């Protein structure tokens, strides 16, 4: 096959355009090829002149056909440019025409045009288009998306949202800039005139105005941005207030760097709220835990769908300033609070699906953690999220279940389901609840044979639903017992350490805490009567075979709102763990400073539970 060849008219670009785009300059440019073995097509991208070219070609197509398409695209672009030219040229300004070859080389040898694309386009190959040379970068580190939060406050860390391909965050470079606000030297441009027309006038009169132009050649002109920090995230200071931020990210895989991308914040940095009470708790968590133990955090963060309604603002939390209920404000406090705890395992309840993907996951990934989200049953826009430290754990399995589904379809719950089915109102209530349990199996990197089961849940909230919470707890415990049996019998493991975290909507005086820690609930227990006769079902006795204790002990409150305060959140651990430290809770004086939670300094109506655990030496 003959190499692709055509005649194209080149026009000389003005001297202020990119020099690398002129024929006289032999500087090699970049051409990227995205080619994934599992995908049918590949993408060839490069800049030719002022035009960005992106070609989608089949991996099995011959190189010659792809080079021909490149040739045709450039020819069409050249012809289009000529048609749009509206001024006449004399002999001195007209350019000549040149023959242009489009050829791919590897090690100075021409690549056969019969070769398939997937084999022809190799990293380091050179594409020549006339006198223009392009170095091929196959699957280079690439930034797919780079954004900054909508709201930025001084004193609260800014975590960019980065989506990257063929690179990793750890090896990439992050450079932060602050907007410079100052009077720039200007000169009056006599020959430049801004023409302004008014659509409100009946005539077509035109008003001419002199404009002011920045002298781009003057060394007196300062940069618009000044570098302020290098790192994956940035903590704005008071000196940044009323200035925008810019982030430049250079993606890398450790050996190769891709094309840098920049993003400018939509808003200026605003004044932060100052020191929050949770920062006192950070004194106890400033150091990470070694391989001999782990730090666990469990926290209901108050889902954004539950704070954005008039009911929330006027009935549930009328004492909280509306701006402090907004998720853009609260997520900044939440991220500063959570990242300051230096948790190895972080279990969050009421995690909004959108907030997880746009804010929490990107932030935790920048800090060396990985996460997973499990939405509740039905159309609920929130669920449970787990984050774990990647230098300490590796996820090997997940066993999530929807409680209303598993209770009626899993034979292990058949006895319970048959019993509650005797009361239609009761079984309907159980089957229409959206609760789930997120179950994750982690493997320790320091000792790969050691596995850990982390369960995360949020039970039904209604005050007259203690009986429903008992049933939901039994479903969870039976499921965890089943998961444990898989690893102790089928995988040959002696034991599977388990922790159960969450918002159980039940304090130590009620049935859930008692059932988890004592392994049984009798048929005459008071919680069975919490909804009266309508949902009562006689002779339900519950038992389980797991050993649990409350890691944080008996607390006074974990939920603190106007008219209600109780310890309804828990971290239950089995005998494989010893508790070495429980992080002190905020004082009631701190919690009530702004009436109750949430507030301008507390981002949720719950309080995070944090405890340090050690692997038991039993």
Per residue in 457-493, pLDDT (tens digit) is 999 999 999 999 999 999 999 999 999 999 887 766 7
Is pLDDT above 70 for 95?
Answer: no
Query: Contact at 8 Å (CB) between 547 and 573?
Result: no
Compute the distance between CA of residue 127 and CA of residue 32 in angstroms, rounded to an integer: 11
Compute the distance between CA of residue 363 and CA of residue 335 in angstroms, rounded to an integer: 8
Compute the distance between CA of residue 538 and CA of residue 249 in angstroms, rounded to an integer: 64
Tokens of 366: 């920048």
DSSP 214: E
Compute the distance between CA of residue 245 and CA of residue 156 in angstroms, rounded to an integer: 14
Q: Give me the pLDDT at residue 352, please.
A: 96
**pLDDT tens-digit readout, 409-425:** 999 999 999 999 999 99
Q: Give me the pLDDT at residue 491, please.
A: 65
**pLDDT tens-digit readout, 242-297:** 999 999 999 999 999 999 999 999 999 999 999 999 999 999 999 999 999 999 99
Compute the distance between CA of residue 352 and CA of residue 1 in angstroms, rounded to an integer: 57
Q: How far is CA 596 from CA 233, 256, 349, 593, in A?
A: 31, 52, 20, 7
Query: At residue 387, what are phi and psi to the nearest 5 degrees?
Result: -125, 140
Compute the distance between CA of residue 104 and CA of residue 33 in angstroms, rounded to an integer: 13
Query: Contact at 8 Å (CB) between 521 and 541?
Result: yes
Q: Give me the pLDDT at residue 190, please.
A: 37
Confidence of residue 533 (pLDDT cuts 50, 70, 90): very high
Average pLDDT over residues 565-580: 98
Residue recorded with tokens 């969870």: 476
Q: Give me the pLDDT at residue 99, please.
A: 55
Cα distance from N-terminal residue to C-terminal residue, the chain: 75
If you write DSSP's letter for every residue of 489-517 in order, what string do you get?
IIS--S---EEEEEE-S--TTSHHHHHHH
Query: At residue 605, what are phi and psi to the nearest 5 degrees?
Result: -85, 0
Query: At residue 174, what are phi and psi to the nearest 5 degrees?
Result: -125, 120
Q: Give me the pLDDT at residue 78, please.
A: 78
Query: Contact at 8 Å (CB) between 307 and 330?
Result: yes
Strand order in the sheet with 369-375: 369-375, 382-389, 345-352, 293-300, 609-615, 577-582
Indicate the average pLDDT of the chain: 88
Residue 592's H or E segment, with its range, is: none
Compute the distance between CA of residue 499 and CA of residue 440 in angstroms, rounded to an integer: 10
pTM of the model: 0.83
Is pLDDT above 90 for 321?
Answer: yes
Confidence of residue 49 (pLDDT cuts 50, 70, 90): confident
Q: Give me the pLDDT at residue 193, please.
A: 31
Confidence of residue 85 (pLDDT cuts 50, 70, 90): low
Half-sphere exposure in the Cβ direction for 322 (13 Å, CA) = 6
CA nearest neighbour of 110 among 64, 72, 70: 64
Tokens of 49: 């002149």
Compute the distance between CA of residue 266 and CA of residue 42 in angstroms, rounded to an integer: 34
Catalytic: which of 503, 527, 569, 605? Answer: 503
CA R_g for the chain: 32
Tokens of 140: 């280079």
Average pLDDT over residues 531-556: 96
DSSP 284: G
Compute the distance between CA of residue 77 and CA of residue 54 in angstroms, rounded to an integer: 13
Q: Give me the pLDDT at residue 201, please.
A: 35
Q: Give me the pLDDT at residue 18, please.
A: 34
Is pLDDT above 80 for 13?
Answer: no
Is pLDDT above 50 for 210?
Answer: no
Query: At residue 252, what are phi and psi to the nearest 5 degrees?
Result: -155, 155
Compute the distance between CA of residue 226 and CA of residue 415 in angstroms, rounded to an integer: 68
If you write DSSP's letter for every residue of 359-390 in order, what string do you get?
IIHHHHHHTTEEEEEEEPSTT-SEEEEEEEET
Query: At residue 302, what are phi and psi to the nearest 5 degrees?
Result: 65, 100
Half-sphere exposure in the Cβ direction for 395 (13 Å, CA) = 16
Q: Give me the pLDDT at residue 199, please.
A: 38
Query: Contact at 8 Å (CB) between 47 and 114?
Result: no
Confidence of residue 82 (pLDDT cuts 50, 70, 90): low
Active site residue 503: yes
Dihedral of CA atoms 215, 220, 224, 227 in degrees, nearest 10, equals: 150
Query: At residue 537, what are phi and psi to the nearest 5 degrees?
Result: -135, 120
Helix-helix angle 424-431:466-485, to 10 degrees: 60
By residue count, the chain amounts to: 618
Tell me what percent of the residues of the chain surpass a pLDDT of 90: 81
**pLDDT tens-digit readout, 352-377:** 999 999 999 999 999 999 999 999 99
Compute the distance between CA of residue 358 and CA of residue 354 in angstroms, rounded to an integer: 6
Is pLDDT above 90 for 381?
Answer: yes
Half-sphere exposure in the Cβ direction for 365 (13 Å, CA) = 18
Compute the distance between CA of residue 186 and CA of residue 192 in angstroms, rounded to an integer: 14
Compute the distance between CA of residue 514 and CA of residue 510 in angstroms, rounded to an integer: 7
Tokens of 603: 């981002």
Compute the distance between CA of residue 112 and CA of residue 176 in angstroms, rounded to an integer: 46
Coil/strand/helix, residue 600: coil
Q: Give me the pLDDT at residue 282, please.
A: 98
Q: CB within 8 A of 38, min separation 6: which ones?
A: none
């Amino acid at each position: 096959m003959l190499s692709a060849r055509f005649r194209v008219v080149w026009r000389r670009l003005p001297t202020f355009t990119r020099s690398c785009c002129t024929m006289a300059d032999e500087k090699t440019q970049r051409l990227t090829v995205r080619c994934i073995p599992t995908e049918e097509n590949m993408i060839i991208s490069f800049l030719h002149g002022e035009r960005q070219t992106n070609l989608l070609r089949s991996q099995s197509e011959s190189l010659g056909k792809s080079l021909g398409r490149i040739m045709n695209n450039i020819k069409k672009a050249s012809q289009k440019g000529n048609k749009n030219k509206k001024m006449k040229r004399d002999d001195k300004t007209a350019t000549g025409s040149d023959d242009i070859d489009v050829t791919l080389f590897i090690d100075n040898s021409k690549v056969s045009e019969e070769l398939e694309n997937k084999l022809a386009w190799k990293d380091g190959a050179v594409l020549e288009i006339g006198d223009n040379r392009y170095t091929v970068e196959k699957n280079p580190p690439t930034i797919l998306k780079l954004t900054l939060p909508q709201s930025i406050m001084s004193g609260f860390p800014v975590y960019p949202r980065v989506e990257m391909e063929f690179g990793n965050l750890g090896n990439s470079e992050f450079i932060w800039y602050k907007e410079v606000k100052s009077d720039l030297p200007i000169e009056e441009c006599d020959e430049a005139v801004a023409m302004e027309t008014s659509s409100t006038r009946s005539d077509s009169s035109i008003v001419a105005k002199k404009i002011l132009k920045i002298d781009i050649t003057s060394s007196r002109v300062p940069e618009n941005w000044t570098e302020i920090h290098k790192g994956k995230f940035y903590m704005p200071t008071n000196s940044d207030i009323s200035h925008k931020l810019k982030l430049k990210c250079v993606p890398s895989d450790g050996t190769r760097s891709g094309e840098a991308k920049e993003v400018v914040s939509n808003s200026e940095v605003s004044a932060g709220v100052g020191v929050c009470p949770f920062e006192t708790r950070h004194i106890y968590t400033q150091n990470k835990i070694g391989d001999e133990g782990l730090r666990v955090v469990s926290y209901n963060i108050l889902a954004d769908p539950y704070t954005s309604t008039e009911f929330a603002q006027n009935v549930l939390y009328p004492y909280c300033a509306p701006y402090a209920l907004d998720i853009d404000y609260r997520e900044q406090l939440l991220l500063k609070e959570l990242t300051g705890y230096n948790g190895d395992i972080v279990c969050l309840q009421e995690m909004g699906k959108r907030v997880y993907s746009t804010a929490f996951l990107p932030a935790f990934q920048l800090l060396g953690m990985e996460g997973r989200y499990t939405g509740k049953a039905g159309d609920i826009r929130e669920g449970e999220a787990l984050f774990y430290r990647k230098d300490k754990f590796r996820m090997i399995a997940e066993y999530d279940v929807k409680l209303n589904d598993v209770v009626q379809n899993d034979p292990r719950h058949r006895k319970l389901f048959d019993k509650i089915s005797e009361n239609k109102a009761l079984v309907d209530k159980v089957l229409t609840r959206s609760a789930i349990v997120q179950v994750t199996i982690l493997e320790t990197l320091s000792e790969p044979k050691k596995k850990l089961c982390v369960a995360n849940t949020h039970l039904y909230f209604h005050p007259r639903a203690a009986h429903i919470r008992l049933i939901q707890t039994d479903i969870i415990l039976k499921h965890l017992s089943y998961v444990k049996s898989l690893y102790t019998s089928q995988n040959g493991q002696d034991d599977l350490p388990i922790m159960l975290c969450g918002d159980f909507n039940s304090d130590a005086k009620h049935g859930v805490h008692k059932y988890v820690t004592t392994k049984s609930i009798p048929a005459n227990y008071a919680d069975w009567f919490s909804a009266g006769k309508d949902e009562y079902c006689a002779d339900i006795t519950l038992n389980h075979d797991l050993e649990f204790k409350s890691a944080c002990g008996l607390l006074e409150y974990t939920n603190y709102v106007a008219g209600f305060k109780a310890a309804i959140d828990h971290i239950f651990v089995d005998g494989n763990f010893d508790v070495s430290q429980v992080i002190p809770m905020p004082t009631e004086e701190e919690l009530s400073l702004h009436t109750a939670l949430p507030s301008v300094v507390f981002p949720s109506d719950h309080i995070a539970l944090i405890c340090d655990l050690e692997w038991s030496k039993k």
